[in-house]
Amino acid sequence: MSAPDFNLLITLDVLLTEGSVVAAAKRLRLSPSAMSRALARLRETTGDPLLVRAGRGLVPTPRALELRERVSQLVQDTEAVLRPAEQPDLRQLERTFTLRTSEGFVENFGASLITRIDEQAPGVRLRFMHKPDKDSASLRDGTVDLETGVVGKTASPELRTQGLFRDRFIGVVRIDHPLSDGEITPQRYAAGSHISVSRRGLDKGPIDEALAPLGLARQIATIVPGFSTALALARSSELIATVPERHTANLRLGLHSFDLPLTLPDFTVAMLWHPRLDADPVHRWLRGCLREVCSR
């Protein structure tokens, strides 16, 4: 029996990640015909077609789905073994990291993170990108190095995640707002004019679901895509903003914050990254900086 060609593992990993012979060939800097021949060898070796035609694209077989995570881990482990163990000199490092975050996260934690990075690695630059959705494609294709957010059920299982802090929703109004004085009851809270925060433009959410059993409903005056926008409106109007407490700490200066008279679950804000960066010492250092800034 001939020895297996372990180079095929890399080819298989890229093919299963891209789901396309052309895209996999481009990523490995091969011709499409060379990649097609490699796929034929993989099919012969595994005894499975792995990727089959469905319309204009290719879809993985059950065997391919079973292998995908194992192959990816094998490739990552191999890369980690072969990667030089020396730690880089951060003072001499020149690198740009792209972080995809919400606007409130940058405004609340961005300055502290930039300061910490500059103290240790003055040649490292951070590029912040707006986060309009939870699509993880930019982490997979390498255009984004690190992302922050609440990890939902739709998050890709291939991504690495680590919690940064626990958070909860609170109410916020201007200092002289009627809700800045006296007990906040569900009735008083619901009776005001509210700002709904939704990237998808929705006017209903968990807050409304918590009010419904009490026979109450909010009057939504406006819908905005981000918490910093909601706070800016609350600062200059009679509107009520409901925002995450820690996520907006710096943004709420000069405003009145209060506990919601509702039972809403806490949630975890996490950082997400692709497994290929897991063992990268510089990326590991960046993740450590972000953890430290968020833990203060």
Asked if pLDDT for residue 85 goes beyond 60, the answer is no
Asked if pLDDT for residue 179 goes beyond 80, the answer is yes
Task: Please name the residue that has the structure tokens 């881990």.
Answer: 73
Rounded-to-integer distance, Cα 146 and Cα 273, Å: 5
pLDDT on residue 111:
93
- Parallel, antiparallel or unpaired: strands 51-54 and 57-60: antiparallel
Tell me the two tokens of residue 105.
């996260």
Residue 1 banded pLDDT, cuts 50, 70, 90: very low
The count of residues in the chain is 296
Rounded-to-integer distance, Cα 158 and Cα 137, Å: 11
Q: Give me the domains of the chain, ranges plus CATH numbers.
A: 7-82 (1.10.10.10), 90-162+271-295 (3.40.190.10), 169-265 (3.40.190.10)
Rounded-to-integer distance, Cα 222 and Cα 245, Å: 21
Average pLDDT over residues 158-164: 90
Asked if pLDDT for residue 16 goes beyond 90, the answer is no
CA 132 vs CA 1, 34, 113, 198, 224: distances in Å: 52, 38, 22, 10, 12
Average pLDDT over residues 71-75: 88
More confident residue, 165 or 155: 165
Rounded-to-integer distance, Cα 220 and Cα 195, Å: 6
More confident residue, 211 or 87: 211
Which 3 state secondary structure label does DSSP give 68? helix
Average pLDDT over residues 49-56: 86
Rounded-to-integer distance, Cα 271 and Cα 275, Å: 13
Task: Please name the residue that has the structure tokens 């109450």.
Answer: 216
Asked if pLDDT for residue 134 goes beyond 80, the answer is no
Q: Where are the beta strands (DSSP E) in 199-266?
A: 219-224, 240-244, 255-259
Report percent pLDDT > 70 for the chain.
Answer: 96
Residue 19 banded pLDDT, cuts 50, 70, 90: confident
Task: Please name the residue that has the structure tokens 């968020």.
Answer: 294
Which 3 state secondary structure label does DSSP give 234? helix
More confident residue, 57 or 52: 52
Asked if pLDDT for residue 166 goes beyond 50, the answer is yes
Rounded-to-integer distance, Cα 26 and Cα 43, Å: 20
For 185-204, write each residue's pLDDT tens digit: 999 999 999 999 988 888 88
For 241-262, write each residue's pLDDT tens digit: 999 999 899 899 999 999 999 9
pLDDT on residue 3:
66
Task: Please name the residue that has the structure tokens 């409130």.
Answer: 104
- This prediction's pTM: 0.66
Asked if pLDDT for residue 87 goes beyond 80, the answer is no
Asked if pLDDT for residue 82 goes beyond 90, the answer is no
Tell me the two tokens of residue 39.
């796929």
Rounded-to-integer distance, Cα 291 and Cα 289, Å: 5
CB-based burial, 215-238: b 16+ in 10 Å, e otherwise: ebebebeeebbbbbbbbebbbebe
Residue 7 banded pLDDT, cuts 50, 70, 90: confident
